[in-house]
Amino acid sequence: MSNDKKFTELSRRGFIKSSIAAASAAAVPTVFVSNANAYVNAPKGKTVTLGFNVPQTGAYADEGADELRAYKLAVKHLNGEGDGGLMNTMKPMALKGNGILGKKVTYATGDTQTKSDAARASAKRMIEKDGAVMITGGSSSGVAIAVQSLCQEAGVIFMAGLTHSNDTTGKDKRRHGFRHFFNTDMSGSALGPVLESEFGKERTAYHLTADYTWGWSQEGSIKDTTEKLGWKTKAAVRTPLGAGDFSQYITPVLNSGADVLVLNHYGKDMVNSLTQAVQFGLRDKNVNGNDFQIVVPLFSRLMAQGAGKNIQGIYGTTNWNWSLKDAGSQAFVKSFGAEYGFPPSQAAHTCYVQTLLYANACELAGTFDPCGVITALEGFKFDGMGNGATEYRAEDHQCFKDVLVVQGNDKPSSQFDLLKVVKEVPRKQVEYPASKLGGELGSCNNA
C-alpha cells in the first residue's frame, strides 16, 4: 500500500515537472518570433508610434502636462494638420507634412511619476507593448538618465525632454540619447557675468539644492562660476525632492552671514522654497552692507506663474521664453496659443522641437533604424526653431545654442508676461569642450 502511494507520488511529481517544462517550451517560441525584425519596433503598418513619457503626478506635474500638450501639437503638425507651427520656419527641413516617411504618427503616453522606477516601467510598456520606436520626455534629470540608458539597452532612440543636469550628456551620455535643452554648465557660464555686474564680487552665497543628479550638477556649476567671480560659498544644503515645506532649511539662512540665496530647485519645489524664503523676509534683509538677493539659476514661466509676485526682480536662466521675437518662437507661440489658449512653457518648446528634430532625422536617414537616425542627428545644424542657429554636437549629443538670462518681471503686462529677457548670451560664450564632462557614448544598438 505504502509502496503504491510512493509510486503514484513520484510519477505525479514527474508529471508536474514535465508539464511545467512542456508549458514553458510551448510558450517560448511564440515569444521570439515577434522579435525577428531588422531593428526594434520597425513600423510595419501605415503608422509609426512615438512614446511620450512625462510626469503626470508629482513635483513636476505642471511641466509634464505642458510637455504633453506640446507633443500632441507636434504630432498634429507632423501629420499635416493644424497650421504647421515650426515646420514653417525650420531650416533645413526634410519633413513633408504627411507623417514620418509617409507613415501617420500615433503616440502612446506614460506617467513617469518623477520616479526612475515608474518611468522605466512606463517606457518599457511603450517599447514592448505599444511598439514605440522613439521615447521622449522626462521632467527630471534622474528620470531622463534612467530612461536614456533603458533606451540604449532596448535599442530605441531617446529624445530627452526637460533635463538640465550636466550628466545627461556628460558622464551618463548614451549613443541613443539626444538633448535639445541646455545644461547647468551653460546656465553657470551665462549667469556669471550678469551676477557680477548686478551684485558685485564681494558676496557670500548659500545654496539650497534638490538632492539628486540635477541639483548636484547645478550646485556644482553655479559654485564654480560664482567662486571664480570671487564669491564665497557659505554652505550648500541638500533638500529632498518634493519636500513641500522648506522652512526648516530657510531658517538657518537668516543668520548664516550669507547675502545671496541660490535656490537649486525646480517645479513645485522652487515655487514653495521661493515663496517661503520671501515670507521669511529674506529679501528685505541687509547683510554685510548688501541687499539680500535670491537667485534661481533655472527659471521657467510655469514656475513664475506658481510663485506669483515673489519672483519679481529675481535672476535666472531659461532655455527659451515665449516673448522672444524671432520668427520661429512667434510661429510656435501662435500655433500653441491657438490650440490651448495660452503661451507654451520652455518645457513645451523643447519637447516640441525634439519631436520635430527626430522626425526630420528619420526623413533624412530614410529609415526608422536607430543607427541611421543617430547618424542623421549627430552634428545636425539647424535654425528657425526659436533659439537661433543650433547644432547637435556629435561628441556628446548636446545641442549648442544661445542661452537666455531672465529676470522676474516687475510690471507684467499680462498673467503670462512674467519673465523679461535681460540678455541673450551667445552660443560661443556658453560652449565647452565635450571632454570636460566625461562619459562614453557607447555604440549604436539595433540588434
Q: By C-beta, is 30 or 197 nearer to another protein? A: 30
* Nearest approach, Cβ of residue 124 and another protein (Å): 4
Q: By C-beta, is 152 or 233 nearer to another protein? A: 152
Q: By C-beta, is 3 or 255 nearer to another protein? A: 3
Q: By C-beta, is 18 or 279 nearer to another protein? A: 18
- Give the C-alpha separation, 385 to 326, whole Å: 9
- Give the C-alpha separation, 193 to 195, whole Å: 5
Q: Which of residues 210-249 bind another protein (CB under 8 A)?
A: 211-213, 238, 240-241
Q: Which of residues 102-131 bind another protein (CB under 8 A)?
A: 107-111, 115-118, 120-122, 124-126, 128-130
* Nearest approach, Cβ of residue 322 and another protein (Å): 25
* Nearest approach, Cβ of residue 239 and another protein (Å): 9
* Nearest approach, Cβ of residue 16 and another protein (Å): 5
* Nearest approach, Cβ of residue 146 and another protein (Å): 6
Selection from 304, 208, 313 nearest residue 251 by Cα: 208
Determine if 146 is a binding residue for another protein (CB under 8 A): yes
Determine if 443 is a binding residue for another protein (CB under 8 A): yes
Selection from 218, 238, 229, 416 nearest residue 317 by Cα: 218
Write out the H or E segment, with its range, that includes residue 239. Answer: strand 232-239
* Nearest approach, Cβ of residue 20 and another protein (Å): 5
From 18-26, 77-85, 302-310, 336-344, give the range in contact with another protein by CB under 8 A. Answer: 18-26
* Nearest approach, Cβ of residue 383 and another protein (Å): 33
Q: What Rg, from alpha-carbon coordinates, does the chain have?
A: 25
Question: Where does 261-300 have alpha helices with state H?
Answer: 267-279
Determine if 30 is a binding residue for another protein (CB under 8 A): yes
Determine if 15 is a binding residue for another protein (CB under 8 A): yes
* Nearest approach, Cβ of residue 31 and another protein (Å): 4
Contact 77, 84 (CB under 8 A): yes
Contact 387, 318 (CB under 8 A): no
Determine if 57 is a binding residue for another protein (CB under 8 A): yes
From 93-101, 145-153, 190-198, 353-361, give the range in contact with another protein by CB under 8 A. Answer: 145-153
- Give the C-alpha separation, 136 to 163, whole Å: 11
From 29-37, 194-202, 281-289, 428-436, give the range in contact with another protein by CB under 8 A. Answer: 29-37
Q: How would you list the strands of the sheet with 399-400, edge to edge? A: 381-382, 390-392, 399-400
Task: Report the SS3 class of residue 284.
Answer: helix
Q: How many CA atoms lie within 13 A of 205 on its CB side?
A: 30
Task: Out of 6, 14, 20, 281, name the contact with another protein by CB under 8 A.
Answer: 20
Region of 432 (left: φ > 0; alpha: ψ -120 to 50; beta: rest) is: beta
* Nearest approach, Cβ of residue 198 and another protein (Å): 32
- Give the C-alpha separation, 7 to 10, whole Å: 5
Q: Which residue has the cell 507661440?
A: 333
* Nearest approach, Cβ of residue 33 and another protein (Å): 11
Determine if 56 is a binding residue for another protein (CB under 8 A): yes
Contact 101, 368 (CB under 8 A): yes
Q: Under rule CB under 8 A, how many of the chain's residues touch another protein?
A: 53
- Give the C-alpha separation, 379 to 363, whole Å: 16
Name every residue whose Cβ is closer than 8 Å to that of residue 287 and which is 6 or more positions away in sequence. 204, 257, 258, 259
DSSP string, 1-16: -HHHHHHHHHHHHHHH
Q: Which of residues 412-441 bind another protein (CB under 8 A)?
A: 440
**Residues found in the chain:** 447
**Residues found near another protein in the complex (CB under 8 A):** 9, 12-13, 15-16, 19-20, 23-24, 26-28, 30-32, 35, 56-57, 107-111, 115-118, 120-122, 124-126, 128-130, 142, 145-146, 149-150, 152-153, 211-213, 238, 240-241, 440, 442-443, 445
